[in-house]
Chain A
């Protein structure tokens, strides 16, 4: 831990630049505004995506701060925040994330001895979505998209574009193993596409679907976006609505496998 740096940071309660100026390792939650990412990149700060599984600690350790029955991604955020050696955390609490993140940010701010900066990302410059629409294993696509949050530029080597044979709509799941079941020609929709486009609050883009391809509408249990997932799935002619919590169960995987095969989607 960088005690000196931490003390310096805590002394600042002013503008976010001042509060982050001495940080070296910064956790990010959701998609912070590009202005912040640029600031952190320019100072060569290490960015850690707290939405991803970064530590092996039991998810139950989050229960000391937030309910056990809660969004598994935000529980993961809390576990990461408790176990990683961080100098600061930046949380998007605007329309590009969710109310739950707002409350988690407040709880972390009270509980940790590091600055927790609440930002509202309303960026609306479109960076494009070539990964979402390219040919590549779906798991790798989501990894690239989530990694892209740490950069201010588009992916330097996006995959070649392809016609979609299937769709995956939703947020990046906590358990990426679900993504292994899809063909490489699966297009990504929903908030994951918004992430790549660097417009997490673009609700119109989030609600965009392709009605010509069988689409799995993925819902992370207890996430507010489950309502949108179910709503869109009900109106899509070839949809599977799937609600998954911490881990993907065997029956959830079997549903995807059956849905794709019975819809005539070749792997």
Chain B
């Protein structure tokens, strides 16, 4: 069975017929119209799949599979949106999905890294930050800062920290975050979150799909 997490910038695929195989990552813009998977998630997934699991459910199921705790907060920072699920004693306590006001944060971070030829692995967490609620609107802070003489790398780092703090507040300012999504690979972003952070990588939703297939089997095929 082919599972697919169709993100805005990148898609992740897993073939469950090959246990232990690494998921494959493909740039979304490289997808062809004839692609078809058995089970999908992600905002772009319905077009390519026989069956679909919504992203919050996939995230929660992935968290259940990867986090061996009854109480946890799992935050997914994607290219287009941010979302979280919060479990307490095995019961869903809270959740959120910000696809509008928190839009394009991951996308903008990647765009800035390429545009300014930066390496986020080498940037230190700045002491100051921008108040950022949206990737697109936040960029104007960078341009204003650069005009005022602040080095580009410092300005971008403040922007990234602003995005991290916005995501943290969106998740209700927890003491500990399990982090999902491509931004797990961005050390500046991870270090800018003002709490304990445990990165789980970018395949949490795929793990959620895998768990969904197991649950379907247990439920006799009912979803």
Contact = CB atoms under 8 A, between A and B. Distances in A.
Please classify how large the interface on chain B is, using the bins under 10, 10 to 19, 20 to 34, 35 or more: 10 to 19
Contacts of B81: 251
A225 interface: no
A67 B62 CA distance: 44
Contacts of B77: none
A263 B55 CA distance: 16
Interface residues of A, number: 14
A259 interface: yes
A163 to B, nearest CB: 19
B37 interface: no
A262 B84 CA distance: 13
A251 B97 contact: yes
B56 interface: yes
Contacts of A261: 57
A238 B88 CA distance: 11
A155 interface: no
Contact of B54 (A238, A240, A258, A263): A258
Contacts of B99: 249-251
A255 B54 CA distance: 9
Interface in A224-267: 238, 240, 249-251, 254-255, 257-259, 261-263
15 contacts: A238-B91, A238-B92, A240-B95, A251-B98, A251-B99, A254-B97, A255-B56, A255-B96, A257-B57, A258-B54, A258-B57, A258-B60, A258-B95, A262-B56, A262-B57
What 9 pairs between A and B have smallest CB-CB spacing? Answer: A258-B56, A251-B99, A254-B54, A262-B92, A258-B57, A251-B97, A262-B60, A255-B97, A263-B92
Interface of A: 214, 238, 240, 249-251, 254-255, 257-259, 261-263
